[in-house]
Amino acid sequence: MDFTMDLERRTLLKGLGLTTVGWAGSNAVQAQESSDLAYSTQEAGTVGSTVNYTDDVIYQIVTDRFQDGDSGNNPDGDLYSSDCSNLRKYCGGDWQGIIDKIRDGYLTEMGITALWISPPFENVTSVDADIGTSYHGYWARDFKDTNEFFGDMNVFEELVSVAHDNGIKVVMDFVPNHTSPSTADNSMEDGVLYDDGDYVTSYSDDPDDYFHHNGGTDYSNYEDQIYRNLYNLADFDQQEAYIDQYLKDAIRSWLDKGIDGIRVDAVAHMAPKWQKTLMDTIYDHKPVFTFGEWFLGTGESNQRYYDFSNDSGMSLLDFRFGQEIREVLREFNDDWEDFWDVIEETASQHDQVIDQVSFIDNHDMERFTVAGEEANTDLALAVLLTSRGTPTVYYGTEQYLTGGNDPENRKPMPSFDQSTTAYQIIQKLAPLRQSNAALAYGDTQQRWINSDVFFYEREFGDNVVLVGINRSQESYDISGLLTALPEGSYDDQLDGLLGGFGTSVNGDGSIDSFSLDPRTVCVWEYTGNTTEPALGHVGPTMGQTGHTVTVSGEGFGSSAGSVQFGSTDAPVVSWSDSKIEAEVPALAGGFYDVTVTDTDGVQSDAFADFEVLTDDQVSVRFVVNNAETDPGESVYVVGNVHELGEWNTDRSVGPFFNQVVYEYPNWYFDVNVPAETSIEFKFVKIDGDGNVTWESGSNRTYTTPSDSTGEYVGDWQA
């Protein structure tokens, strides 16, 4: 396999470690939350909600590059580069190093409240001259054991415990798409898979077809990206019953170790409806915030990306935000008008945009910081930490770590200096996300804009945050600025760190004309006392009857009112002024608005389209043969259960594929359906104008599996 590729292809590898293949050396009244004694259940541990990360700041760590806390677990021989001069090899960072940096205050004093760590499971231990080692953690061998170079399970559990004791959540990177490279000369380990120490299969020794054997993807279409290998990585066939259960058993075992969140790698490269069954498994076992990685390039927007975030049950890394902020504050190819367009687009496309995980850089792109232009990083961090979504800071960004594409973007942590401007920006703004609900839940409103200056406001309940930024080398005179801030005087929440200053707001919400100096950021905030129910977040956004759902916001009151799914009251598990836990009531599968009503009968605005699943979800491959279509037509399935659209062709499932696993005129699609259920359905053809052609004959019937995958095959009924 030739690993020479252009930038677009390299970035598409998304942390798989296959590109040119990183260590670590050593004025306002706050609403008071009160609990009804009748609903006095406490949070587990000392961390916040495991399904709501909107007031958190995540810190992403490439474990091997952060801090070597235990030299005794460092690799031997060719796997290891002791001075990290070879960024393709292991450099010694481990879980003990992360524990040490929690305990010495570096992470806690920065204000971060969640850690996203590299995949923790056992990886292959071979070395390839071209592609290096598995230091990054994305080349799994055994999903049920630990990476010995990061530590054993006792150390992992200690990391979780120490993090929790310090109010920090732990997010685990999960890689259910593949194992490891299967190289022609077997210089790696042929994609080998173990199950808790027992050999299962390898790519060349795969009699049960646990992997896809369809060649490598050329990214020509969505189907190709799912059912072919990402370059030479051994690509799981999740529709195989053993693999389906193996991956779900593995994630259950890690949930049992106390993790609080999951980042799912390469979600654009796995069947979307199978991933929905994965999310149902997670929420049925232990609900945690889960977000996927669907890579988008600069300026790229993809409707499938938005559809996945709204239908899969998981959120996404916010590549639309991340790529655009880089264009505005790093490359200077776009301006604030372009940025505002992205903010409006994403708010309209995502069902819950505040659940998307925003960033300015990560392990799959060049570092944001360019030497000599550190001020741009400061500006970008200020915007990131005050914008909608869950902000993620990539390790070393606070130290202005530079570097090009992989592996240069995964250099060792250069220092743990707490005096850098970037560190102090995070230190000042991260706590503000927890103390002012406008940053967690508020909509974004443009207040003043030109190509260089942007004033945006976040408002939720009686809480307001107004942010102004001048990215240019020129001063601008600002007039006509209006705000929702109440009349009064306001200090800059950055304490002048980025040239900001205090301001006064008039009784009509106006701010008198002023000059905004170059490279200046001002953050002004008001924390109010919200006294009527304001619903900010619902998580998870799908579930079965009996699953617990957390409703967050303000003004719910200290005594329990009620939570409604549609017109049905939900059993309340716990209630406080800012958080309610309720069970999904007994409802048929479908979409329901969620509302909160306080004891005075005041009802909140609705969170729209919470999805109630019919039952446990399993993945079934529907195959229809000999379905010839006219140009512009595609094949779909529609049936009598919610998951199949309840006979509504506007909600039919598809479009089906017809090129890789089965070829035209045979069509297939992997669909989530309720387990152990007798279903009725038909195949339909739908053209680009929405015209529907039903197949003839009686309704088809099929009894779905109880706990695994299934397949239905039939001919088109002409």
Give the catalytic positions in this structure.
265, 293
Q: Amino acid letter at 644? A: L
CA distance 145 to 249: 12
The angle formed by the CA atoms of residues 286, 598 and 546, to the nearest 5 degrees, is 25
First to last CA, the chain: 45
467 close to 383: Cβ distance less than 8 angstroms? yes
Give Cα separations from 22 to 126, 385, 389 (angstroms). 16, 26, 28
Q: Which two tokens stand for residue 492?
A: 């800059």
Please tell me whether residue 638 adopts helix, strand or coil conformation.
strand
CA distance 318 to 438: 19
b/e 569-579 (16+ beta carbons within 10 angstroms → b): ebebebbbbbb
Phi and psi, residue 563, nearest 5°: -120, 135
Burial of 648 (0-12, 13-18, 19+ CB in 10 A): exposed
The angle formed by the CA atoms of residues 310, 313 and 318, to the nearest 5 degrees, is 60
Q: Which two tokens stand for residue 392?
A: 């993620």
- Sequence-separated (6 or more) residues with CB below 8 Å from residue 6: none
Which residue(s) pair with 459 in the sheet? 443, 464
550 close to 48: Cβ distance less than 8 angstroms? no
Phi and psi, residue 417, nearest 5°: -75, 120
CA distance 245 to 72: 35
How many other β-carbons are positioned within 10 Å of the β-carbon of residue 512? 11
Extended strands (E) in 302-384: 315-316, 357-359
Q: Where are the alpha helices (DSSP H) in 259-302?
A: 272-285
Cα four-point dihedral sign 652, 655, 658, 662: negative
